[in-house]
Amino acid sequence: MKRFWTSATTTPQPGGFGVSLDGKPVRLPGGAPLVVDRAPLAEAIAEEWSAAGGGAPGGEMSMNDMPLTRLVGTAQERIVPDPAAMIDGLARYAESDLLCYRAEDPQLAALQAAEWQPLLDWAALRQDAPLRVTAGIMPVRQEASAVAALRAAVAARNPVELAALGVLVPALGSLVLGLAVVEGRLEAAEAHRLAILDETFQEEFWGLDQEAADRRARIAGEIAVVGRLLALARPT
């Protein structure tokens, strides 16, 4: 699509802040104006619209140029009306969290234990959700109470945080890491580093797999956007 506006600015809206294009509010596909709680987030979204299409009317653009807008739109249009589907989908990751599956190689397993166990300990204390650990790929059955506790932790998040988790958790393969980022226990980039621990360990021995590296870079970019969204959306 081509850019049709000259300027993008933030504007007060009932319930928060919106973005206007040449004085007209940005509307979501369902027709409602885009509204966020925090002025810094609205300003960042306005910056996306200002830069889109090369910064001038007539420039080619797509919604891929505006990741914050897409995430906020997901929260407002899909999660606010019915958060249950998102909550249920995320909670299922508690049954097979990446951090619970350790390698059979002793050296890698020791590294995973050193790097991952503190996050599982955090989940046990913070969320009252002790998770069992196993070696290899055979499934380990988690206590129903731990899974329920992690579901409750997800359900307590606001719509923007749920939209963030909707990106983080599948990308990381870990509900614990996703919650740690949303709650400020980990930076987003650090969570990604932990999630790819086995890949980077193997590359030390077998060399770089360019296809895997490209995939990690793409995922790192998506995670970075989510980290920025959470920072902008947090109360100051």
The dihedral sign for the CA sequence 184, 111, 192, 147: negative
Yes or no: say if 153 and 169 are a contact pair by the CB < 8 Å rule.
no
- Whether 69 is in a domain gets the answer no
pLDDT bracket for residue 56 (50, 70, 90): confident
Q: Work out the average pLDDT over 208-236.
A: 93
The confidence score (pLDDT) of residue 196 equals: 97
Q: Work out the average pLDDT over 175-204.
A: 96
pLDDT bracket for residue 19 (50, 70, 90): very high
Sole residue written with tokens 């939209």: 163
- Whether 78 is in a domain gets the answer no
Number of structural domains in the chain = 2
pLDDT bracket for residue 124 (50, 70, 90): very high
pLDDT at 12 over 90: yes
**pLDDT tens digits, one per residue of 28-39:** 999 999 999 999
Cα–Cα dist 127/140, whole Å: 20
pLDDT at 16 over 90: yes
Q: Residue 24 sits in a domain of what CATH number? A: 3.30.2180.10
- Looking at every residue in the chain, the average pLDDT score rounds to 95
The confidence score (pLDDT) of residue 205 equals: 81
Q: Residue 152 sits in a domain of what CATH number? A: 1.10.3580.10
The confidence score (pLDDT) of residue 1 equals: 82
Chain center to CA of 186: 12
Residue 194, classified by CB atoms within 10 Å of its CB into exposed (0-12), middle (13-18) or buried (19+), is: buried
- Whether 77 is in a domain gets the answer no
pLDDT at 26 over 80: yes
The reply to whether 102 and 195 lie within a common domain is yes
The reply to whether 57 and 130 lie within a common domain is no
The confidence score (pLDDT) of residue 45 equals: 98
The reply to whether 120 and 26 lie within a common domain is no
- Whether 169 is in a domain gets the answer yes
pLDDT at 236 over 80: no
Q: Work out the average pLDDT over 99-118.
A: 97
- Whether 70 is in a domain gets the answer no
| Residue 186: HSE in the Cβ half-sphere, 13 Å Cα cutoff | 27
Indicate the DSSP class of residue 32: P
The reply to whether 59 and 88 lie within a common domain is no
Q: Work out the average pLDDT over 183-197.
A: 97
pLDDT at 162 over 80: yes
The reply to whether 208 and 107 lie within a common domain is yes
The confidence score (pLDDT) of residue 184 equals: 96
Sole residue written with tokens 């030390």: 204
The confidence score (pLDDT) of residue 214 equals: 93
pLDDT at 197 over 90: yes
Sole residue written with tokens 């100051």: 236
Domain that holds residue 199: 84-233
The confidence score (pLDDT) of residue 140 equals: 95
Yes or no: say if 182 and 230 are a contact pair by the CB < 8 Å rule.
yes
The reply to whether 196 and 128 lie within a common domain is yes
Q: Work out the average pLDDT over 53-65.
A: 85
